[in-house]
A and B are shown apart, each in its own frame.
Chain A
Amino acid sequence: MLDDTIHAVASPPGRAERGVIRVSGPAACAAVAALLAEPLPRARAAGVHTLRILGASLPVLVLVMPGPRSFTGEDVVELHLPGAPLLLAEVGAALAPAARPALPGEFTRRAYQHGRLSLLEAEGVLAAIQASTEAERRAAAAYQHGGLAEAVTALRMAIQDLRAVLESGLDFTAEETGAVDPGDWLPGLRAVRQRLAGLRAGLPAARPGGEVLLVGYANAGKSSLCNALGGGPAHLVSPVPGTTRDVLGVAVAEGVVLLDGPGEIEGAGGVEAEALALRDRLAGRAQGAILVVDGVRPRVPPTALPVLAVVVTKRDLLREPPEVPGLPAVPRFDVCAPRGDGLEPLRAFLAACGGGAPETVFTRVRDHLDGADAALARAEAAGSAGLGDEVAAAELALALEALDQVHGRSSPEGVLDRVFARFCLGK
C-alpha cells in the first residue's frame, strides 16, 4: 500500500508568486533527481537547482527531508518554483511513473500511518484546512490542542466509574460488596448523558452546503440557470453552444455554490477540449452534480458525480413537460430560467439538500457521540425496566467503544482498577 510515491501541488490553486510541489515515498528522491541537471542537495539543506522541463531550463529551490523524520515519515522532497498552474501541472506529469498524484488528505494520512501524527492531530490538520467558518476554526484548534480529547476522556472516565459500580455488583456476591441496585448508578448515568449533550452542542453545526456542478450539453441553459438562481447576470449567455469556457461559481443558498462550466460538446477539439479538461479537474471537488437537460432537445449528459437532481430547461417553449428517457431516479424540476418559472422549488431543494453536505471531521465526532448517547439511553432504559445489570453494563461498554472511536483507539480495560480503588473486596 505504502510502497508507492505520491506528489501534489502544496500551494493554493491559481497563479501565484511561488508554487510548491511535494513528493513523498520511497521513490521521491529518484523521481525528482531525474528532472534535475545536478545531483540533489544534502538532507534538510535548500539548494538552487536547474529543472529541465518542456525543453527549457528553470531555476528551482529543492528541499530534501529523508524519512522517518519528515512530515509523512517517508522521504519527502519539495520543489519551489514559479506558481504557474500549467508549469506545476507539467512538472507533476513529468514525475510519472515514479510518482502518482496524491489523493485528498493522503500526505496527512501517511503521517498518521507512520505514527508521525495521532488520529486527532491528523484530523485537526484536516479540520483546520477545511474550516470555513469561525466556529469551525475554533473547533479545529480545540481538536489539535486536545480540548475535545480531554472532554471525551472525562466522559469516558465517568462512564468507567458507572461501570465499576455495576461490575462490582456482578463480579462479587452481595456479601462481599453489598448489594448494588439501579439507584446506585442511574442518577450518575443521567448526569453523564447531560454532559454528553453539552459536548455535542458545542460542536460546530453541520455545515450546509458544498459545491454542486451543473452538468449538461452545451447550450442546455446552464448559465441562464446560474444567473437566475444567483440573482444577477454574472455569466455571459448566448445562443451559441460553448459560450462558457471557464468554471464560475455562484452562491445560491446558505453555503451551496453552483459551479457552472463548459457543456459537453460532441467532437470537441482545441480550446473546447482544454476547457472540458479544466472543468473535469475542478469538478473533482464538487459533492454532486445537477443534470441540466434542454427541454427542446432532451439528452441526458454523462457524469461520474452523484446526481442530486435533474433540471429540465426551456419550459416556456413547450406545452407539456417533455418525456426524457434515461433519467436517474432523483427529483426533477421543470423551469424557465429567464422568466423565473419553477425556480423557487429548485432553490428550496438546494438549500435543503445542502449540496450533499460534505463530510467533515466533526460529522464523525458527532456520529460517535450520538452512538455513545444511544447506548447510554438503552442502559438507562434497562436500569429503569429492571432488565438486568449485565445488560446495562453491555450498553455502557458499547458507549465506551463509541467514545473510543473519537480517539481512534480501542478500549483499554480500566474498569477493574476502579473497582479495586473503591471497594474493599475479598472474603
Chain B
Amino acid sequence: MHETSDFDVVVVGGGHAGAEAALAAARMGCRVACVVLDPAAIGRMSCNPAIGGIAKGQLVREIDALGGEMGLCTDATGIQFRMLNTRKGPAVRSPRAQCDRHAYNAAMARRVLAQPGVTVFADEAVDLLCAGTPAGGPRVAGVVLRGAGALAARTVVLTTGTFLGGRLFAGSWEESGGRMGERGAHALAAALRRLGLRLARLKTGTPPRLDRDTIDFARLQEQPGDPEPVPFSFRSPGLRVQQVVCHLTRTTSATHHWIAEHAHLSPMYQGRIQGVGPRYCPSVEDKVMRFAERDHHLVFLEPEGRDTREIYPNGLSTSLPPAVQERFLRTIPGLEQVAVLRHGYAVEYDHLCTDQLRADLQVGEIAGLFAAGQINGTSGYEEAAGQGLVAGINAALHARGEEPLLLDRASSYLGVMIDDLCRVNPREPYRMFTSRAEFRLELRSDNADRRLAPVARRLGLLDAAALGRVEAKEQRVRAALRYLDATRHEGATLKSRLRRPDVDAAAIAALAPGFAALGLSPDELAEVEAEVKYEGYIQRARMEAERLRRLEGKRIPRGFAYGGVPSLSAEAREKLALRRPLTLGEAMRVPGVTPADLNLVLAVLARGDAAAGGPA
C-alpha cells in the first residue's frame, strides 16, 4: 500500500493514555497527530493527583521499563513519596507518589508538545474515515476534525477518557461534559455507533476540593512521606525533594446521618445515572448506604500541590447537591469551618464493550483502529497510561506493517490487564490489583526493568544508556544468585540460608565478604532476596507460564477457515469467524466457545503445523 496519508498515527485525546500513545509512536519514528480539545489539558489529572499505589505502582514501573513517560514525570513533579506494603513481601510492595497537579500537567504537556514527530491539533475529532481492505474488511483511513477537516492516517488510537458521550452530575444539576468546565465528545460517540461498534455506560466521580486555609490541621494526625523516597523511574538519577505531609481525619455519625437523609438527592439514587461505578472507589453516599454498620470512614487530606490552596479529601467522592456537600463536610473533624473551592461531581461516559477488543488493543474488525484507557472500561491513570503505551507501540508497528506486540499474563501486569479486558466486558471500571496477576511473585515492581528489557531493546524504546544500565543490573543480580548457590556456610549453601524467613540479604553480606564485594545496590540486594525467597514458586509459575504460552500464545493464522473444522458447533464457528482471535488464548476467551470447541481447533492447527513441517 502506498496511498498518501498525512500521518502514520492519529491519537484522539491527550490524557494519560493519549500522551503515552503519542510519545511512543513518535519515538518509534512515526508521524503522529495528537488531537485534543485543549492542548493545555494534556496529562491533566482529573481526580486524585497521585500516581501509583498497590498494583498500580507495578504498572508504572512496567511503563517506565518500556520507555514510557509516567514514571519520569512523577519523579519530576512528586511532592510526597511512599512505598506501600513495606511490612509485606516484595511481590506486593508498590510505590506511590503525590504530585503537584499543575506541575505534572504542565510537564507532560511540555513533553508531548516538544516531542519531534508529534503535531498537536487543538480540535475535536467528530468522525472516523474508513476504507475497504483487499481482504474485504474495513480499515481505518483517518479522522475528521471539526475545524481542520479530514486527516488521512494509517492508524487511529482512541483515548477519549470520560469525554466520550460524557455527562456531569451533582444533585439535580446535570450537564454535558468530559470534566468540569470542559465539553464532551458526542459526535465521535455517534460515529462509533454508526460503524457498528457497541458502547456501554460507566460512571466515576470526584470529591469536592477544599481550601487549605480553612482547615484546622492541628487536631489531625499527620501522614508524612518516606524518609528516603524511592523514585518511580529506573531512569531517574535519584530524588531530591522537599516532601509535603498529608493529614488523616474521619467521617462521624453526624456525617453519616446527614448523608443518609439526603441520599435521595444523589443522581445515582434517583436512577438518573445508568452507568455502574467502581466498588473499590465508591462515593461517600455509597459507603454510608451500603455499609450502614460502620461508624466512620477514613478521609485523607492530600495537598494538590506546593503553590495551591486546594486540598483533595481522599475518600469523599460525591455527587450530592453542592449545599449538601458543604453541610456534611463540616461534620468532619478539622473541617468545621471548611470552604469548598470546587464541588464534587459524578461523570457518566461511553466505553467500548471490550469483547470487541483484541490482544494488541485493536478494535473489532476495523483494521488500524486502536483504543486505550477509559474507553476500554478501565479506571486509573496508570491503567490508562499502560494501555496508551501498548496501543501507541502497536499502532506504530501496524503502520509499518509489522507483527504486533502481544504481552501475555506471565510477562507483566500490562499483559494481565489487556488479557482481562479482552476476556470480559467490565461491569464496573476496571482497576488493577495484584491478585489479578497469577504470576504475582515474579511480576514485581523491583524487576520490571529486567523483565521487559528484551521488549524495549527489540522495539528501540529505550536509549543505549538506559539499556546498558539494565544489562549491568541483570548481570550483577545473576552473579549474586550464582554466588549464593555456589558458596557454602556451615554445610549449607548461602542460598538455602537466605531462604529462611529470619535471614535477609544484609545478614548474608555480613556473613560472606565475597557477597558484599559483588557491589550490589540496596535495591539489587532486595531483588536478589526476593528471587531467592520466591524461587520455588517462580519456577513452578514459569513452568505453568510455559505451558500457557504453548497453548495461549499459539497463533491462529489470519485466514484460518473455521468452516473447515469438523464437528465445530455452529455457535463457536460463527463467533470465532466474527471475532478472528489472534491466538488460541484469545479464542479461549470468546464467550460461548467451549474447551471442546478449542480442542477441535487445536487439532486442526496441529495438523497444519505437521503439514508445514515444523512446530508453531
Q: Which residues of A contact B (CB under 8 A)?
A: 1-3, 26, 67-68, 73-74, 112-115, 163, 167, 169-173, 175-176, 385-391, 393-394, 397-398, 409, 413, 415-416, 419-420, 424-427
Q: CA A276 – CA B411 in complex, angstroms?
A: 58
Chain B residue numbers with a CB within 8 Å of A163 are: 435
Q: Once the chains are docked, how many angstroms separate the CA of A390 from the CA of B538?
A: 12
> Of A68, A413, A424, which contacts B569 at CB under 8 A?
A68
What are 16 residue pairs bridging A and B, where the CB atoms are less than 8 Å apart in the complex?
A26-B566, A73-B567, A163-B435, A167-B435, A171-B55, A173-B54, A388-B88, A390-B89, A391-B441, A391-B533, A398-B540, A419-B435, A424-B287, A424-B290, A424-B291, A425-B280
Please give 14 more A-B residue pairs, beta carbons under 8 A apart, in addition to A113-B599, A115-B569: A3-B566, A67-B567, A114-B567, A115-B597, A163-B435, A173-B54, A389-B89, A393-B435, A416-B435, A420-B279, A424-B291, A424-B294, A426-B280, A426-B282
User: Cβ of A426 and Cβ of B88 under 8 Å apart?
Assistant: no
Q: Check B562 for interface membership: any CB of A closer than 8 A.
A: no
What is the bound-complex CA distance between A55 and B501, given in angstroms? 81
Contacts of A387 in B (CB 8 A): 501, 533
Q: A173-B54, A416-B435 given as contacts; is B88 within 8 A of A390 (CB)? A: yes
Residues of A within 8 A of B405 (CB): none
Give Cα A26 to B567, complex, Å: 9
In the complex, what residues of A have CB within 8 A of residue B533's CB?
Answer: 387-388, 391
User: From residue 464 to 504 of chain B, which have CB atoms closer than 8 A to chain A?
Assistant: 501
Is B600 an interface position by the 8 A CB rule? yes
Closest A residue to B435 by beta carbon equals A167
Name the contact of A413 in the complex, choosing from B85, B281, B436, B441 (C-beta under 8 A): B436
Q: Which residues of B contact A115 (CB under 8 A)?
A: 569, 594, 596-597
Q: How far is the CB of B94 from chain A (nearest CB, A)?
A: 10
In contact, B298 and A427 (Cβ under 8 angstroms): yes
Nearest CB in chain B: distance from A376 CB, A: 15
Taking CB as reference atom, which chain B residue is nearest A26? B566
What's the nearest-Cβ distance from chain B to residue A261, in Å?
38
CA A115 to CA B598, docked complex, whole Å: 11
Whether B280 contacts A420 by the Cβ 8 Å rule is yes
Report the bound CA distance from A2 to B595 in whole Å: 15
* Interface assignment of B528: CB less than 8 Å from any CB of chain A: no
Q: Answer yes or no: B440 CB below 8 A from chain A CBs.
A: yes
B560 within 8 A of partner (CB): no
Q: CB-nearest residue of chain A relative to B293?
A: A424
Separation in Å of the A115 CB from the closest CB of chain B?
4
Interface size class of chain B, counting residues whose CB lies under 8 Å from the partner chain: 35 or more
Tell me which residues across on chain A come within 8 A of B84, comparing CB atoms.
Answer: 173
Q: Which residue of A lies closest to B537 (CB)?
A: A394
Which B residues touch A169, using CB under 8 A? 88
- What is the CA–CA distance of A171 and B432 in the complex, to the nearest angstrom? 10
A391 in contact with B537 given A114-B567, A420-B279, A424-B291 (CB within 8 Å): yes
Chain B residues numbered 403-455 whose CB sits less than 8 Å from any CB in chain A: 433-436, 438, 440-441
Q: Which of B92, B569, B600 has the most CB of A within 10 A?
A: B92
Given A68-B569, A115-B569, A420-B279, CB of A170 within 8 Å of CB of B297: no
Q: Considering the complex, which residues of chain B in the window 184-207 have a beta carbon less than 8 Å from any beta carbon of chain A? A: none
Q: Is B314 part of the contact surface with A, judged by Cβ < 8 Å?
A: yes
Tell me if A426 and B281 are in contact (CB < 8 A).
yes
Docked pose: A415 CA to B566 CA in angstroms = 37
A3→B564 CA distance, assembly (Å): 11
Instruction: List CB contacts (< 8 Å) of B553-598 with chain A.
Output: 566-567, 569, 594-597
Contact (Cβ within 8 A) A170 B85 = yes
Assess whether B300 is interfacial by the CB under 8 Å rule: yes
Which residues of chain A come closer than 8 Å to B291, judged between CB atoms?
A: 424
Q: Chain B residues near A409 (CB, 8 Å)? A: 595
Chain B residues in 8 Å Cβ range of A424: 282, 287, 290-291, 294, 297
